[in-house]
């Protein structure tokens, strides 16, 4: 039986953490849980210690961000001989057979496998539908197989089954990203190393992102992070992308009548030497772990 380490990074996760831990506890394929807490103050840790006293917890004492905290778990997965790590968002949970179906469909070439990601009402998550929907629908036309894997260019890290081979090859999340963009960059590097990313349509799981609305300024700031993702992609030309992304930011500001992208340009250009260095490091086997 494969050894799976479910890694959950928490930051004030009281609203969801019960569902996530219960879903792992009831999984038809057993897994260990590692909870890495980024300084929660809402009672997350007392609840976990009371209701799941056997849960392994690492307290970082501060908000390290999604990538850096997950890297702690990925290193432990390697050091302790796990076959797979499963990255589970704090606001997400599994169905009974999610892990079982993903592991059954896994082959060496699949670095990351995701279930169909649903919202809390059982509908396809909006971002999952946008990023993966057309590939899944095309593959499912007139065909069904529980072990079918649909290759996709990208899938969100709310639900990732990551093989040991992929962790050893790609490494951890880049420190170029603290919040958002980490999973895009990791998948870009996965492709750089010749591995694939896929969705298993027979497997399902929930990502409950509903009810959260970001202010317009924060949404625009998050859109700007795409420039960092693109220049950090080792599959693209560094010289061209560093110029192209400045032009993209200018155009974004004009299109949205916002000064935020234009302000971001100064920060972006100032970070280019750092981003170039991290991009080169990201090509190495096991980078950032």
pLDDT band, residue 214 (cuts 50/70/90): confident
Sequence-separated contacts (24+) of 264-273 with Cβ below 8 Å: 264/221, 264/224, 264/227, 268/224, 268/227, 268/228, 271/228, 272/231, 272/242
pLDDT beyond 80 at 153:
yes
Alpha-carbon span 84 to 74, nearest angstrom: 9
Q: Is residue 252 part of a domain?
A: yes
Question: What would the DSSP string read from start to end of 184-233?
Answer: HHHHHHHHHTT-EEEEEEEEEEEE--TT----HHHHHHHHHHHHHHHHT-
Instruction: Give which of 55, 53, 59, 48 is closest to 17, Cα–Cα.
Output: 48
Q: Is residue 12 part of a domain?
A: yes
Note whether 81 and 176 are same-domain residues.
Answer: yes
Q: Is residue 289 part of a domain?
A: no
Interhelix angle 66-79/182-192, nearest 10 degrees: 50
**CATH code of the domain covering residue 66:** 3.90.550.10
Alpha-carbon span 264 to 260, nearest angstrom: 6
Alpha-carbon span 289 to 285, nearest angstrom: 10
Query: Taking the C-alpha atoms of 92, 84, 98 and 27 in order, what is their torsion angle to the nearest 10 degrees?
Result: -90
Alpha-carbon span 201 to 138, nearest angstrom: 12
- What pLDDT sits at residue 147? 81
Task: Kindly give the pairing relationship between strand 196-207 and strand 150-151.
Answer: antiparallel
Q: How many distinct structural domains can be found in the chain?
A: 2
Q: Is residue 286 part of a domain?
A: no
Note whether 25 and 154 are same-domain residues.
Answer: yes
- What pLDDT sits at residue 216? 86
Instruction: Give which of 186, 188, 171 is closest to 71, Cα–Cα.
Output: 171
Note whether 157 and 60 are same-domain residues.
Answer: yes
Question: Does the pTM exceed 0.75?
Answer: yes
Q: What are phi and psi of 103, to 5 degrees?
A: -65, -40
List pLDDT tens digits, range 169-200: 999 999 999 889 999 999 999 999 999 999 99
pLDDT band, residue 208 (cuts 50/70/90): very high
List pLDDT tens digits, range 86-141: 999 999 999 999 999 999 999 999 999 999 999 999 999 999 999 999 999 999 88
Q: How far is CA 258 from the centre of its chain?
A: 29
- Angle, CA of 177, 174 and 114, to the nearest 5°: 90
Using only C-alpha atoms, the chain has a radius of gyration, in whole angstroms, of: 19
Instruction: Give which of 187, 159, 24, 18 is closest to 86, Cα–Cα.
Output: 159
Q: Is residue 103 part of a domain?
A: yes
pLDDT beyond 80 at 220:
yes
Note whether 104 and 169 are same-domain residues.
Answer: yes
Note whether 8 and 134 are same-domain residues.
Answer: yes
Note whether 9 and 82 are same-domain residues.
Answer: yes
Q: Report whether 224 contacts 248 (CB < 8 A).
A: no
Q: Is residue 17 part of a domain?
A: yes
pLDDT band, residue 234 (cuts 50/70/90): very high
Note whether 46 and 128 are same-domain residues.
Answer: yes
Neighbours of 36 (CB within 10 A): 22
Note whether 160 and 120 are same-domain residues.
Answer: yes
* Domain coverage including residue 85: 4-207
Note whether 203 and 138 are same-domain residues.
Answer: yes
Question: What would the DSSP string read from start to end of 31-72?
Answer: -EEEEEES---SSHHHHHHHH-TT-EEEE-SS---HHHHHHH
Note whether 177 and 232 are same-domain residues.
Answer: no
- What pLDDT sits at residue 213? 78
pLDDT beyond 90 at 215:
no
List pLDDT tens digits, range 25-69: 999 999 999 999 999 999 999 999 999 998 999 999 999 999 999
pLDDT band, residue 250 (cuts 50/70/90): very high
């Amino acid at each position: 039986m494969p050894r799976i380490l479910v890694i959950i990074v928490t930051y004030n996760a009281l609203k969801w953490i019960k569902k996530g831990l219960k879903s792992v506890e009831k999984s038809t394929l057993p897994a260990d849980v590692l909870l890495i807490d980024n300084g929660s103050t809402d009672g997350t840790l007392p609840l976990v210690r009371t209701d799941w006293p056997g849960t392994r917890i690492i307290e970082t004492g501060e908000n390290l961000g999604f990538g850096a905290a997950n890297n702690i778990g990925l290193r432990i997965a390697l050091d302790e001989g796990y076959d797979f790590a499963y990255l589970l968002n704090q606001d997400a949970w599994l169905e009974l057979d999610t892990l079982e179906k993903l592991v059954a469909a896994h082959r060496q070439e699949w670095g990351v496998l995701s279930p169909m990601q649903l919202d809390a009402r059982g509908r396809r998550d909006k971002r999952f539908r946008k990023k993966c929907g057309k590939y899944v629908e095309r593959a499912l036309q007139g065909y069904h197989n529980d072990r079918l894997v649909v290759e996709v260019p990208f899938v969100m890290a709310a639900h990732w089954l990551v093989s040991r081979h992929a962790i050893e090859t790609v490494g951890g999340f880049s420190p170029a990203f603290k919040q958002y963009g980490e999973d895009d960059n990791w998948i870009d590097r996965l492709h750089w190393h010749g591995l694939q990313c896929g969705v298993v349509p027979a497997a399902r799981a929930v990502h409950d992102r509903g009810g959260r609305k970001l202010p317009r300024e924060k949404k625009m700031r998050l859109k700007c992070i795409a420039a960092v993702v693109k220049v950090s992609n080792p599959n693209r030309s560094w010289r061209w992308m560093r110029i192209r992304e400045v032009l993209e930011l200018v155009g974004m500001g004009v299109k949205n009548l916002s000064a935020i992208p234009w302000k971001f340009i100064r920060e972006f250009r100032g970070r280019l030497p750092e981003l170039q260095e991290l991009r080169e490091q990201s090509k190495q086997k096991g980078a950032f772990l």
